[in-house]
Amino acid sequence: MDEKLTRMQLQIDKHNGQIAKLFSRVDDTNICIQKINNSLLQIKYGVYGALGWYVVTNIGIIEAMRLCDRVYNKHSTNSFRIYR
């Protein structure tokens, strides 16, 4: 009986160590996923910024604001007006 109990305790200790190692790996994986997510967000907003820069430099700031007004009016009842 004591031998069986000792084996069970050793098995439980082994399992506890394995569980701790797995949780450590999960934490490491979550950190890596968060870093990847941050990188993708930087790329996304970099593309938005580049697109905005392209629009402003090629069609001008006033025309870009008019375009924004048209898009904004399409989705909302509130608007701002830009006159020449």
Q: What pLDDT was estimated at residue 76? A: 56
Place of tokens 């930087």: 42
What is the model's pTM? 0.55
Would the pLDDT of 68 be above 50? yes
The structural domains of the chain, with segments of one domain joined by +, span 2-75
Strands (E), 7-79: none
Q: What pLDDT was estimated at residue 77? A: 54
Tokens linked to 6: 């000792």
% pLDDT > 90, the chain = 44
The 8 Å CB, 24+ separation contacts for 62-69 are: none
Q: What pLDDT was estimated at residue 84? A: 45
What is the average pLDDT score of the chain? 84
